[in-house]
Structure 1
Amino acid sequence: MDLGIDRQALVPVVQQIVSAVAEWIRSNGVSPGTRLPSIRQLALDNLLSQSNVVEALERLVAQGLLASSKGSGFVVAPPPVFYEPPWHEGAEREWGAFTDSPLGELKLGCGWLPDDWRESDDLSYAIREVSRTDTAGLFNYSTPLGLPALREQLLKRLNQIQVSSNLECILTTHGASHAQDLLIRTLLKAGDTVVVETPGYGNLYRQLAFHGVRRLEVPRTGCGPDIPALEALLQRHRPKCLFTSSLYHNPTGSSLSRDVAERLLALACCNDFLIIEEDVYGDLQHASCTRLAAMAHADRVIYVSSFSKTLSSALRVGYLSAGASLIAQLTHLKTLTGIGTSRFAEAVVATLLANGTYRKWAQRLRKRLNAQMVATLQVLEDEEWQVFTVPAGGMFLWARPRLGDPSRMQACARRLGVLLTPGALFNPAGEPSDWLRINVAYAGDERALALFRAMGPARSTSTILKTTST
């Protein structure tokens, strides 16, 4: 068995063995019970130490791909009896049905990057570096506010985007959703009223509903919240908070304009409410932009961001910046409910920020996403899909076919192996919608292109039906 070991690669030899054996099993459809060559043979054939081979095979046993018994060597393990489907946004509504979905569907509407877009070598290096130099990070809690080394890097980043803060006003969290949960618990109580954008982030709607918070809806436009609609709401209600996203809004891809931002801040001051500004896609910025937290706001704006979408959802590292008194309350709640965040994960992110790796990765990611955004917009224009707005960047488009029939589109998507994220997920009341969130990082796949073409006006109804029933 030729494992193709590259001794010049940054990936450790043991991990290369693990990956090579796993790929051999998958690509060749190796049957359960098939015996692998002996440890000695694998080592001789690939000029490896037997200890490296043993460690790699034991890892594969731990992963469930191999099985071993004393004196019998290693064999391909049978598949697990129970399959737990991967999570996706909206999965909790259809968890039972999703277990029967075919594996390998294209998640065209998901909120993260494809695995093959990730650059694991740099992340692996940072993990090894932290493991080698910061053994405390492997065993100890982080500090209440978060790892000081990470908060120092975050302060530099905030200064670069003109967001005024200091070390005592930055709190790390388990991603943006954790930050929002802490804010909801601290600032609001059951029966309180807040303003949310529609369409908007479905998980925020569910968090607010769970805590009994009343949600007032303001439409999202191509420039931010609809100001006349918001003014009309404020004449009748006194909300405590407004939740918004300034850059590359989820799901529409729209960004805040300067005049809308100025009006939002004026309304917040006059009507005494806070603005919680989420900026989890802000690192995809490649042009001039407007952030509320970067403007004079008299502590009316709470800034929330995360590395889960751009770097790794497995690390779960987010943060928020707010006034010192609010940070003190949030820190107390964070410690009370979860003791603290992961010192190890925060040290990994701090390392990537300090050595410039993350900045370079974000630059490459922006370039790749921008190219795919242009290509996807061209395809949708050719097929006469309606696009909510042309984003200045980011990864999302909010679009629908002009001959929109949601049931027909779902049937066509299932036939082509495409998993759609329903528009109802982005409505506070869960109302049906023919709008779709499209993640452009997945839109170049042939299955996505086939769906765009199948729902274009040039295709007759009979053609579409034939496509979905074949």
Structure 2
Amino acid sequence: MDLGIDRQALVPVVQQIISAVAQWIRNSGASPGTRLPSIRQVALDNLLSQSSVIEAFERMVAQGLLVSKHGSGFVVAQPSVLHEGQWYEGAEREWGAFVDNPMGELKLGCGWLPDAWRESDDISYAIREVTRTDTAGLFNYSTPLGLLALREQLLKRLSQIHIATHLDRILTTAGASHAQDLLIRTLLKAGDCVVVETPGYGNLYRQLAFHGVQLLQVPRTQGGPDLSALEALLQRHRPKCLFINSLYHNPTGTSLNRTVAERLLELAHRENFLIIEEDVFGDLQHASCTRLSALPHDDRVIYVASFSKTLSSALRVGFLSASTVIIAQLASLKTLTGFGTSRFAEAVVTTLLANGTYRKWVQRLRKRLRTQMAATLQVLEDEEWEVFAKPAGGMFLWARPGVGDRSRVQACARRLGVLLSPGALFSPTGEPSDWLRINVAYAADQRALALFRAMGPARSTSTILKTTSV
């Protein structure tokens, strides 16, 4: 087994062994139970220490890629965790790689800000304030709807973006994913069908599939869902809901235009379905935009947002706004399944909202992301990458290189120490794709720039082969 180890690469040898063996399993179509060469043989063939091979194989056992058989060495695990088409398990593995990243690879495709961009002093101050002035927040449950002081701040913020609501129509959650889960369990049952955008947010697909909900795919265009495709679906099906990102869509970075928004609301009324509008990146807006929740909708739209992407994913504070009937149902389920959300975390976010710290933080963040978005777009244009759209803001680009197949791009990224989010993770069916989600907050790193250059068509064949040799 020739692993092609590159000792000049930025990626540690153990991680190169893991990546190369995993790729060999995928490419060879090795069946479950296939025995790998012995540790001694792999070490000899690749001029490696046996300890490095042992460490790599043991990590692959922990990841579910290999199984250790007493007396037989290491064998291939079940295919559900190996093949690119198995999007559910593959997505979990990708998520684990981004969160648990001991090798220090560049998380070019992740969905959050770099640690170096965070302003921890402001959060530390808010935590001290809460522990000093609100001791109840340290010991007590929150109320079913969420901390009143936080909902009052949220009401002000929603008013500023022209979303008309009331305190009794706002429910706090442990992030947007929690809000989506509550909505799915309250509004849907196994066998129901819903419309989702593709590409779209993979975790939403998994949540819906877990509950036995049928997914109807509608392509995402630069202005929102493809209306022709949506209307064709509506002629054949009666979906209960449409799930949509209006601003800075994940992963394409596109935003909803007014014409599409108004037509979506017309269709929701005519065909009697609800629209779940997720707006977790909405605070990054710096120009005029269109939200469905800000248009007249007669309670057809449920608004979901969160502070996890912009402030802190550790605090896990999100919220939603809906009709009083739906809010009452959600509050009952929230209390039943978790006795409410964290009063302490909600008090910290309340403090940051009330003293203006959060507002000033997102202003700085918008400016920084806008600068980095322009710089990344210029680099990709210079290297002749194809870009789905040029977003007006946010942190995501949806792009693919002008040359090189998926395996070549992955090999090059692995050599450079870059973690990618391939297009299959953003498809309801896990369909392979050349498109990649790029988080521009990470794109100024030299490893990212090297990847963009290596996959540009101006590079000679020999340069590309050298770059991707592992």
Structure 1 residues 125-136: aligned runs within 5 Å: 125-136=125-136
Aligned mates of 2:288, 2:297 — CA distance in 1: 20
The answer to whether the Cα contact below 8 Å between 1:404 and 1:434 also exists between their aligned partners in 2 is no
> Aligned runs of 1:226-305 on 2, under 5 Å?
226-305=226-305
Shift of 1:102: 6.4
Write the letter of the residue equivalent to 1:430: G
Provide the residue aligned with 1:440 in structure 2.
Answer: 440
The corresponding residue for 2:118 is 118
DSSP-derived class of the 1:341 partner? coil
The letter for the 1-side match of 2:301 is V
Deviation at 1:94, TM superposition (A): 5.7
Give structure 1 stretches of 5+ with no counterpart: 1-81
Percentage identity across aligned positions?
82
Query: 1:467: Cα distance to partner?
Result: 1.1
Residues 182, 99 of structure 1: alpha-carbon distance in 2 compared, 3 angstrom cutoff: closer
Q: CA 1:266 to 1:406, structure 2 compared with 1: closer, same or farther past 3 Å?
A: same
CA distance 1:99–1:296, shift in 2 (3 Å): closer
Distance 1:465 1:312 in 2: 41
How many Å separate the matches in 1 of 2:105 and 2:287? 34
Read off the aligned partner of 1:290 and give its amino acid letter. Answer: T
Taking the aligned partners of 2:173 and 2:100, their CA distance within structure 1 comes to 34
Higher RCO (C-alpha 8 Å, min separation 6): 2
Note the C-alpha offset of 1:422.
Answer: 1.5
Structure 1 equivalent of residue 212 of structure 2: 212
CA contact (8 A) 1:90 1:421 kept: no
Counterpart residue type for residue 329 of structure 2: Q
Q: Report SS of the residue matched to 2:437.
A: strand
| Cα offset, 1:97, TM superposition | 8.5
Q: Are 2:396 and 1:396 aligned?
A: yes
Structure 1 counterpart SS, 2:220: strand
1:356-435 to structure 2, matched below 5 A, reads 356-435=356-435
Length-normalised TM-score, structure 2 = 0.80
Match of 1:460 in 2: 460
Deviations 1:75-94 (A, max 9, x none): xxxxxxx9999xxx965236
Q: Following TM superposition, by how much is the alpha carbon of 1:98 offset from its aligned partner in structure 2, in angstroms?
A: 8.8
Aligned to 1:172: 172
CA distance in 1, matches of 2:314, 2:210: 25
Q: What is the TM-score of this pair, normalised by structure 1? A: 0.80
| Runs (5+) with no aligned partner, structure 2 | 1-57, 64-88
| Alignment map for 1:304-323 (pairs within 5 Å) | 304-323=304-323
Give the total of aligned pairs: 386
After superposition, the Cα gap between the structure-2 partners of 1:179 and 1:96, relative to the gap in structure 1 and judged at 3 Å, is: closer
- 1:452 aligned partner, one-letter code: F
Work out the CA distance in 2 between the residues paired with 1:221 and 1:279. Answer: 17
- Return the letter of the residue paired with 1:389: A
Q: Note closer, same or farther for the CA distance 1:297–1:98 as it changes in structure 2 (3 Å cut).
A: closer
Matches of 1:102 and 1:116 in 2, distance apart?
Answer: 17
Offset at 1:404? 3.9
Distance in 2 between residues matched to 1:99 and 1:204, nearest whole Å: 18
Letter in 2 for 1:185: R
Q: Distance in 2 between matches of 1:113 and 1:135?
A: 31
Displacement of 1:336 after TM fit? 0.4
2:369 and 2:197 mapped to 1: Cα distance?
Answer: 25
